[in-house]
Amino acid sequence: MTTITFPQGKQFDLVAIGRLCIDLNANEINRPMEETMTFTKYVGGSPANIAIGLANLGLNISFIGKIANDQMGNFIRNYLAQKNIDTSNIVIDKTNAVTGLTFTEIKSPSDCSILMYRNNVADLLLHPVEVQEGLIANSKALLISGTALASSPSREAVFLALDYAVKHGIRIIFDLDYRPYTWRDEAETAVYYNLAAEKCDIIIGTREEFNMMEKVLHVQLDDEQTASKWFTYKAQLVVIKHGGDGSIAYAKDGSRTKSGVFRTSVLKSFGAGDSYASAFIYKLMQGETVDVAMKYGSASASIVIAKHSCSDAMPTLDELEQKVKNGTYET
């Protein structure tokens, strides 16, 4: 039964780095974006959602990022502070950059898409000198997300954060979070994803995201081959997600764990990955085995995809325990 160890005696359980954005989720569901007239505003951005999920479950979380110097930026910072997330390394942009917006389209539970407005966004302007080494040294784990690698200077900020994490011996978790919108082309994307993944202990992504990383090398790997590749670098655990078919975790010790899913009444599909990651990481950090962590990740995802928001819908520990106890886990 595989477990992952984390350094102890640190101020923060986890520090996340990356984008802090706004989700505008369609209120009128089951219709295309063209016919959607009203949206509800939530804090969004994959690493923000994961951080919020972890904070809801009771972990002590910090965030490294950059926000716009406007009401949207204030909204994001206030929301995180209200969730007891440390905002001391959230830098305010001084260049009139804007907050990234994600409009969501909910045509049906299985047909959802997102439309991102990401020109001149503040999150991608985080500079390496703005990353506080002390914060990383004082955390048990660093969470990075692939989208922050899309352009400079955020790309270098993430690579410096990775170097600090390696220097201080803290665990590094990489949620691949591939969003094509901010990238120039797939080859560039894959190069930077592969460089970052080499430094990470836990890599979480969908089969499609790993395919993108492998395509540039002209190889097509199956799940086991993908995991084996990363074990030749620093990875201890590679989780490959397959949507409604669950996920598979491969550990460097040779174990392979397949998760089930909690069937639910799906409202929208997005947010599944972020909620899965937050409960999965939470349980790993509690010293639970990978199979238990995957079960809680699946439970968390099933709660969030049944609700309208991603960040606001992240479960409390009590809700999560109830789902695990009373839900139907199909393996």
Ligand X SMILES: O=C(O)C[C@@H](O)[C@H](O)C(=O)CO
Where along the sequence are the contacts to ligand X (CB under 6 A)?
A: 21, 23, 44-46, 49, 102, 114, 270-271, 273-274, 310
CB of residue 46 to ligand X, shortest distance in Å:
4
Residue 293 to residue 217: CA distance in whole angstroms: 32
> Rounded to whole angstroms, how far apart are CA atoms 36 and 32?
6
The interface partner of residue 21, options being ligand ATP, ligand X, none and the CB cut-off 5 to 8 Å by kind, is ligand X
266 binds ligand ATP (CB under 6 A): yes
Q: Out of ligand X, ligand ATP, none, which partner does residue 315 contact, by CB within 5 to 8 A per kind?
A: none
* Class of residue 265 by CB neighbours under 10 A (exposed 0-12, middle 13-18, buried 19+): exposed
Distance CA 305, CA 265 (A): 8
**Rounded to a whole number, what is the largest CA-CA distance in the chain?**
52
Which of the choices ligand X, ligand ATP, none does residue 105 contact, using the CB cut-off of 5 to 8 A by kind? Answer: none
* Closer Cβ to ligand ATP, 16 or 160, answer by number: 16
Q: Smaller CB distance to ligand X: residue 106 or 292?
A: 106
d(CA 261, CA 243): 9
Decide: is 273 part of the binding site for ligand ATP (CB under 6 A). yes
- Contact call for residue 269 and ligand ATP (CB under 6 A): yes
User: Rounded to an integer, what distance in angstroms lies between the CA atom of residue 221 and that of residue 233?
Assistant: 17
**Which residues, including other chains, have CB under 8 Å from residue 300's CB and lie 6 or more apart?**
53, 275, 276, 278, 279, 280, 314, 315, 320, 323
Q: Are 112 and 268 in contact (CB under 8 A)?
A: yes
Tell me how long the chain is: 331
Tokens of 105: 């389209």
To ligand ATP, the closest distance from the beta carbon of 320 in angstroms equals 13
First-to-last C-alpha distance (Å) of the chain: 18
Question: H-helix or E-strand containing 227?
Answer: helix 223-231
Question: Which C-beta is closer to ligand ATP: that of 80 or that of 299?
Answer: 299
Contact residue for ligand ATP among 26, 157, 158, 261 (CB under 6 A):
261
Least distance in angstroms from the C-beta of 294 to ligand ATP: 8
Smallest gap from residue 130 Cβ to ligand ATP (A): 28
Which of 156, 243, 252, 327 touches ligand ATP by CB under 6 A? 243
Interaction partner, residue 246 (ligand X, ligand ATP, none; CB < 5-8 Å by kind): ligand ATP
Is residue 257 within the footprint of ligand ATP (CB under 6 A)?
A: no
Smallest distance from ligand ATP to CB 61, Å: 19
CB-based contact 327:299 (threshold 8 Å): yes
> CB of residue 182 vs ligand X: minimum separation in angstroms?
10
Contact criterion met (CB below 8 Å) for 17 and 156: no
Taking the complex as a whole, how short is the minimal distance between the CB of residue 307 and ligand X, in angstroms? 11
Q: In this complex, which beta carbon is closest to ligand X, that of residue 101 or of residue 292?
A: 101
Stretch that binds ligand ATP, among 32-40, 92-100, 228-236, 238-246 (CB under 6 A): 238-246
For residue 7, is the peptide bond before it cis, meaning its omega torsion is within 30 degrees of 0? no
Which of ligand X, ligand ATP, none does 264 bind, CB closer than 5 to 8 A by kind? ligand ATP
Phi, psi of 44 (to 5 degrees): -145, -170
Interacting residue ranges for ligand ATP, rule: CB under 6 A: 206, 241-244, 246-247, 261-262, 264, 266, 269-274, 276, 298, 301-302, 305
